[in-house]
Structure 1
Amino acid sequence: MIKACIFDLDGTLANTLESMASVANELMKELGLKEMPVDNFKYYCGEGADMLVRRCLKDAGDPELVYYEKARQIYRKRFDADPLYKVRVYQGIPELLAELRKKGVLLAVCSNKPHDAAVKVVKALFGDEFDFVIGQSEAIRRKPAPDAPLKAAEELKVLPEECLYIGDTGTDMETGKAAAMHTIGVLWGFRNREELEKNGAGWIAEKPDDIRKIYEEFYHD
């Protein structure tokens, strides 16, 4: 029986693509580098803010990462100041969470965002809907390490095999598998079906309500 659903944040619960691109491109312009297309950030993201900055700098004209340390500090500072900038919840997500709540499912978020930013964003977007939120910190290795979802399961007092891990990237699918959880890859986020299936998605959701259907069909008594 599934007792908990653990969600990725960026690209799964909320569309943060324009947010990431706007802040990063503003920074690239200040550094005298090229601004990058918004769609590029679908592939820059997924492994934490520092990796996003690295990938963006290389494509923007700094292959040697001369500006890396300066850029990563400014990028983090600007997101810390306003982590909700141009962030929007995906259509159908609030309804999905409400339905899962009615069924007694525990809800958590595991994000590669810095922990304080993740908590702030989830609270602002969803109020008290989630039972536990965890982001990246010195104590928690970033995904695909299973530290965050395993910590969430521990806090929720459920076993890993009693959890659905839900995300939009291959990294998320690797994370869920590493944590010995059931995985659902979502198609409304930043990556495609091929990447999700290649990296171990147990099920594919084309829209948020598909997660409810998967839960009902396969995982409840």
Structure 2
Amino acid sequence: MKPANLVMFDYDGVIVDSLHVFCMNYIAACRENGLLEIETEKDVLALFEHNVYATLRQRGVTTQTIDKILKAYEIRQSDYLRELKLFDSMGDALNEISKKNKIFIITSNISSATESVMQQHGVNCFEEVIGAEKEKSKIRKIELVMARFKDLPAFYVGDTKGDMIEGKAAGTITVGVAWGWHGLEKLKEGGADYIVQSPQELVGLFSK
């Protein structure tokens, strides 16, 4: 059976409830590498108004320093992976969506860490996880996947204003999840085409 859609998912804030762990480790990784202005959860969330790595570069952070931050973050978060939980019903929703659609994870996190958490929770229905160490631009990552499935309607599911902006820039239909990091108003500011209130509603969107 031909898949109905190409559905690309963000990870943090959409699939996994990771805000506290992410912020704690990301702030520490920034501090280790001399980026002292990222001090609070609010500072971290502000980076996701657009692409987090593009925002850092606009602030004068070099690509070399960004790579060092990513590596330090990867090392730090490895101690916390077993603590991370999927949002309620999200694993079942992903498995259900995968029955009729091609699904990918496109994330600003690290691919191997993402894969580890998904396997830990028994979710193995993704074609591929494409993390920041492979390519920092979500727009570019989305475009590369879309090029492989040109005949399928393409969706990007995210939880931040930046996700909606980048999904649109890449040419997808954007779906914002209301349980994530930025909330309804930021998703609307990003121009979300759809906003869903629950994983069950997400299943309904991709089961038509």
Which TM-score applies when normalising by structure 2?
0.75
Q: Distance in 2 between matches of 1:117 and 1:8?
A: 14
Q: How many residues align?
A: 198
Over 3 Å counting, the alpha-carbon distance change for 1:118 and 1:47 in structure 2 is: farther
SS of the residue aligned with 2:88? Answer: coil
Q: How far, CA to CA, are the matches of 1:171 and 1:191 in structure 2?
A: 9
Q: How far did 1:113 drift? A: 1.5
Aligned to 1:151: 144
- Offset at 1:190? 0.4
Q: Deviations over 1:158-201 (max 9, x none)?
A: 22751221000111111211221111011100012222122221
Distance of 1:51 and 1:76 partners within structure 2: 19
Q: Deviations over 1:101-125 (max 9, x none)?
A: 34x2121100011333333333334
Alignment partner of 1:15 out of 14, 17, 20: 17
- Alpha-carbon distance between aligned partners in 1 of 2:159 and 2:88, rounded to the nearest angstrom: 15
2:160 is aligned with 1:169? yes
The one-letter code of the counterpart of 2:84 is V
User: Unpaired runs of 5+ in structure 2?
Assistant: none
Comparing both chains, which one has the higher relative contact order based on Cα–Cα distances under 8 Å and sequence gaps of 6 or more? 2
Alignment of 1:213 with 2:184, yes or no, is no
Contact 1:153 1:163 in 2 (8 A): yes
- What amino acid sits opposite 1:162 in the alignment? P
The unaligned stretches of length 5 or more in structure 1 are 55-62
In the TM superposition, what are the counterparts of 1:33-52 in structure 2 within 5 Å?
A: 36=39, 38=41, 41-45=44-48, 47-48=51-52
Aligned equivalent of 1:142, options 129, 134, 137: 137
Identity of aligned residues (%): 21
Structure 1 residue matching 2:131: 3-state secondary structure: strand
CA distance in 2, matches of 1:21, 1:134: 21
1:118 to 104, 109, 114: 114
Instruction: Compare CA radii of gyration and give the structure with the larger one.
Output: 1
RMSD over aligned CA atoms reads: 3.5
- 1:8-58 CA distance string (max 9 Å, x none): 001111111111233246668989x8995556543345744x689x6xxxx
What's the secondary structure of 1:108's corresponding residue? Answer: strand
